[in-house]
Amino acid sequence: MILNLTSSFLTFIQLITFSAYLHVKMHLILLFKEYFNMKYTTLLLDFDDTLVDFDDAEEQAFFNMAQNYQSSPTYDDFTLFKKINQAHWEAFQNNQLSKEDVLSQRFIKYFKHHNITVNGHEADECFRDELAKAPVKYFNDTLATLAQLRQHCSLYIVTNGVAITQQRRIAQTPFDDLFEGIFISEHTGYQKPMSGFFDYVFNHIKPTARSTAMIIGDSLTSDILGGHNANIATCWFNYRNKTNSTAIKPDFEIRTLAELLPIIQST
């Protein structure tokens, strides 16, 4: 009687174990099927104004810096600085200025409008220090969406800028646990949209990742054009609903990062 009960119990355990095995096996099969059916599994995400609100940090950094040189900087002053700053970075992208010239001359030119003479390098160091200290502000659902994307894709940050400043800003975030790598233009030796930037990235990831890669960013002239130069898919993060008046056309356009989820699962 005891032997029969023992035998029955062992058979019952074996059935449960086998059933659990089949359940796990089926779950893994579904996961692999989902993964291999996904068109995009390598995502390159811009940092500023894609993952975090750069305008908010830039505004705070500008006013804290400008108060060291002029008594009452205004929002019109900030708008002027942004215009000058953008023109200098575009000149850098077109190989018309060096990065060092961009960082210092933008402040010399801005303060010249107020008949103020400054040391451009000192003003730049003050600004970048304030920028690095500014609290990070995320766009809606950014962290939750990244956690979901991380389950299916390899995530990488690709950002232009000064390495020490970007590293300090990224250090305020939990991105180390979400991203497999961070690529900053100063380290790569190239600036987005240069193809050399993306060659560096894929040489450090793996060259074959290009076929399943997509870049997501807010800048048409940096991120989207860079994606075109690298021959990878592009997604324009147009959070502020801007009009695209350029000849640069993204493959996809989204208003929130959550809209990326159905795109990466498309075939």
Distance CA 197, CA 183 (A): 9
CA dihedral (198, 212, 247, 182) in degrees, to 10, reads: -40
Mean pLDDT to the nearest integer, 148-166: 95
| pLDDT number for residue 207 | 80
Distance CA 113, CA 8 (A): 91
Whether the predicted pLDDT of 31 surpasses 70: no
Average pLDDT, the chain: 88
Which residue is catalytic, options 46, 48, 124, 223? 46
Nearest Cα to Cα of residue 217 among 267, 183, 178 = 183
| pLDDT number for residue 34 | 46
**Where are the strands (E) in the chain, listed by range?**
42-45, 154-159, 181-184, 213-217, 233-237, 252-254
Least confident of 89-103, 132-146, 161-175: 89-103
Segments making up each domain of the chain, as ranges: 33-52+138-264, 54-133
CATH fold group of domain 33-52+138-264:
Rossmann fold (3.40.50)
Q: Give the pLDDT band (50/70/90) at residue 7.
A: low
| pLDDT number for residue 265 | 80
Architecture label for domain 54-133: Orthogonal Bundle (1.10)
Question: Is residue 46 annotated as a catalytic residue, yes or no?
Answer: yes
Whether the predicted pLDDT of 129 surpasses 60: yes
Nearest Cα to Cα of residue 262 among 1, 254, 51 = 254
Report the DSSP pairing between strands 42-45 and 233-237.
Answer: unpaired
